[in-house]
Amino acid sequence: MSFNTQWQQQSWQTLQLQSRNFSTAQVQTALHKPRLTLSDLQALLSPAALPLLPVLATKAQQLTRQRFGHSVQFYAPLYLSNLCANECTYCGFSLSQKVKRRTLNLAEIEQECVAIKAMGVDQVLLVTGEHERKVGIDYFCDVLPLIRRYFSSVHLEVQPLSTDEYARLKSLGVDAVMLYQETYNAAAYQQYHLKGKKSDIHWRLDAPDRVGLAGIDKIGLGILLGLSDWRTDAILLAQHLQYLQKQYWQCRFSLSVPRIRPCSGGNEVINPISDKELIQLICAFRLFAPELEISLSTRESAVFRQHVVPLAITSVSAGSKTQPGGYSVEPENLEQFSIDDNRSPQQVARALIEQGLQPVWKDWDSFLGR
């Protein structure tokens, strides 16, 4: 049974009620288990667990050090285009935004690569708006050989593709694909995604399967916090992760749980999540899946990242620009969203070192093979 089928058989309302119906005793039991069930995760995500956050955070930090040592991977997002054929109410790249659109050519991409390398970062996340005709598989195949020459690790965050297309990208050096569902709440998903292929929730739900079938090394999952009830979304995300780990056991998996940030279109966050609740979410997932890579981007403030990275985070972005050409020429283009941590990669690295952590600028050498 596919995850899509499993998801359709579940009741959002039932899961939402379950996620709040836990006692302190059930939370304490979950905290002491060597391996968590989905029900245990629900307990750790419940309101009853919030008073026990110091205990949860301490155990999460212990598991992180045991599994990942003191290392924290650095990466930089490289925005290739802000063209988009979708209408998403929370995104600055949305179709209705009356802004200058730009897609980088090879010469401009090389300038960006040089600028990112000059910061010391050797892992890049390629990001575009979702426009299949102008920024689709042919464009990716054209630009990847150039980008691959500059970076030891290349990740991709673009529109969902077919299995064959993912296989082509793997042959060109893509190491990971990030596919954030945004929300697993079908009603909310339709409310926020008004036009374009992204409005097809089933195509997006099945996309991680296509990445796994193509044999790409790492699959990134995530939800956009603020669109719906975060506890219920988190449980469905955990179910999705569990399903994928069984189906594609040869793959690695990563998690991202960004909060909505301001963009030019403006957005009212109907379902906010507090700093403490976000820490609860991150630490609960560390206990649920100790091997899971967890990233934290510059959407969050420097102060928040300083406190949370040592607990459960394995990778961070630094020095990020969220518009095409942002690293090399600082054009007056629309940013996808505003960032909150404006420190340089070197400043972030120094702060981590002071906390006893080890920034990892490069995680792979080409002579080791692929």
Q: Is 367 a member of any domain?
A: no
Domain annotation covers residue 369: no
Residue 111 lies in domain: 3-362
Indicate whether 278 belongs to any domain.
Answer: yes
- Positions in the chain whose pLDDT score sits under 70: 262-268, 330-338, 364-370
CATH code (residue 185)? 3.20.20.70
pLDDT of residue 264: 45
Residue 253 forms part of a structural domain = yes
User: Is the residue at 108 inside a domain?
Assistant: yes
**What is the distance between the alpha carbons of residues 237 and 56, in angstroms, rounded to a whole number?**
20
Q: What is the CA radius of gyration of the chain?
A: 20
Does 326 reside within a domain? yes
Residue 370 in domain: no
Residue-wise pLDDT tens digits, 97-130: 777 889 999 999 999 999 999 999 999 999 998 8
Assess if residue 368 is contained within a domain: no
Number of domains in the chain: 1
pTM check: above 0.75: yes
